[in-house]
Amino acid sequence: MGLEFHHETLGQRVLFGSGKAADNVAAEVARLGAKRVMVIASEFEAPIAARVTAQIEVALTHHDVVQHVPLETAERARAAAAEHGIDLLVCVGGGSTTGLAKAIALTSGLPIVAVPTTYAGSEATNVWGLTEAARKTTGVDPRVLPEAVVYDAELTVTLPAGLSVASGLNALAHCIDSLWAPRVDPINSALAVEGIRALGEGLPKVTANPSDLTGRERTLYGAYLAAVAFASAGSGMHHKICHVLGGTFNLPHAQTHATVLPYVLAFNEGAAPEAARRIAQALGAKTAVDGLNALRAALGAPTNLADLGFAEADIPLAVELSLAAIPASNPRAVDAAGLTELLSAAREGIDTRAVAWAERAAS
Ligand code: NAD
């Protein structure tokens, strides 16, 4: 069969270098000719933002950041940007902070320079998300893709070990889910596989020594590849489930991804042999599930959704909302019974090898 695909690459400048964030941000602000910069960072991220923006003139600093971008938070930030005549948004922080900058850009068209401090990857996608009345809505819009991303691994050394692991596994989920997402193609698959390799090498170094810059750099590089692959391939089954768990049940984003990933991988592994082979190879393991289990064990990854606040009574609604969103292209057909089993197992943290559906898929 001939090789045939349609691939779109999103245009964005990426400046990567440890200890270089302040210089690179100043250079981007100058290149874009910005005069009225709004710096967005949560209160926890404020000290990092102060370092990173030390060389630029700041018209407004905004700290009102809330996870999953509630609409009222977005509206307050949009009003502040308009009131101060802002011409550039510089966001310094995790996915929640980037998400708030995107919410402003969505209605104003203002350019963004993103300085990520976690491995969430929102900075490399044209996807926005807003939460209203306990429902998270996402959409795609070219206006929300940052003009430039400034990566500096030194900014991630303060990320606590637990959050580093969860966030890194969130990035790994971008890679793995990309391999069976609706717009999977050879280019985004190549990026995803290289992302898995980089994260598989970087994350154990980060947990062994959280201030090890080599591990942090490798993980940040993997997180960028993960996000580019995800932006290109689209959301697969894993992301659709996590999106419901975050938006409707307010579960923490990175930890939820880290917990659900082994269950979706075990569910799909038998029906997606080529993806499974490449994941296993990138993790240096015999099978994809073995590779992920070994990595998760080495990292001390979160193991169950119950600890994150997901109640048994929440399962039926989570199943209903997820089923409506999971793409038909998922390698294995998903029904209410299968998804209930998956979410129950993930809630309780049952070993994926002990779940009946995992055995059925592999047989
Ligand atoms: P987050 O941004 O909520 O950050 C988690 C916590 O870590 C916060 O308290 C933050 O202040 C703190 N933190 C961030 N960087 C730190 C650092 N270097 N040192 C110490 N503390 C630090 O969490 P997240 O996982 O980065 O992002 C999650 C959000 O991003 C979700 O809302 C998710 O939907 C969104 N997201 C969107 C996309 C997209 O493409 N649109 C992609 C990925 C994630």
User: CA separation (Å) from 88 to 31, 66, 79, 114, 130?
Assistant: 12, 21, 14, 11, 21
Query: Given this model, what pLDDT does residue 362 score?
Result: 47
In this prediction, residue 175 has a pLDDT band, given cuts at 50, 70 and 90, of very high
Over residues 310-319, the pLDDT tens digits come to 999 999 999 9
pLDDT of 198 higher than 50: yes
* Atom number, ligand 1, closest to the C-alpha of residue 44: 11
* CA of residue 120 to ligand 1 center, whole Å: 6
- Which among 18, 44, 170 is the best mutation to test ligand 1's pocket, defined by most ligand atoms within 8 Å of the CB? 44
More confident residue, 67 or 71: 71
Atom 9 in ligand 1: residue holding the nearest Cα: 44
Return the DSSP state at 250.
-
Nearest to 223 by CA among 118, 152, 93: 118
- 295 pairs with which residues across the strands? none
Q: How far apart are CA 307 and CA 301, in angstroms?
A: 12
* CA of residue 27 to ligand 1 center, whole Å: 25
Query: Given this model, what pLDDT does residue 360 score?
Result: 54
Query: Given this model, what pLDDT does residue 141 score?
Result: 97
In this prediction, residue 361 has a pLDDT band, given cuts at 50, 70 and 90, of low
C-alpha radius of gyration, the chain, whole number: 20
Q: How far apart are CA 93 and CA 42, in angstroms?
A: 7
The greatest distance separating any two alpha carbons of the chain, rounded to the nearest whole angstrom, comes to 62
Interhelix angle 186-208/213-233, nearest 10 degrees: 150
* CA of residue 138 to ligand 1 center, whole Å: 16
Tokens encoding 156: 């991630």
For the whole model, what pTM was predicted?
0.95
Atom 22 in ligand 1: residue holding the nearest Cα: 159
Query: Given this model, what pLDDT does residue 354 score?
Result: 80
Over residues 78-110, the pLDDT tens digits come to 999 999 999 999 999 999 999 999 999 999 999
Over residues 333-356, the pLDDT tens digits come to 999 999 999 999 999 999 988 887
In this prediction, residue 133 has a pLDDT band, given cuts at 50, 70 and 90, of confident
* Mean pLDDT of all residues in 144-148: 98
Q: List, chain by chain if needed, residues with CB within 6 Å of any ligand 1 atom.
A: 42, 44-45, 48, 67-68, 93-97, 99, 117-118, 120-122, 125, 127, 129, 155-156, 158-159, 163, 167, 170, 246, 253-254
Amino acid at 114: A
Atom 19 in ligand 1: residue holding the nearest Cα: 159
Over residues 28-43, the pLDDT tens digits come to 999 999 999 999 999 9
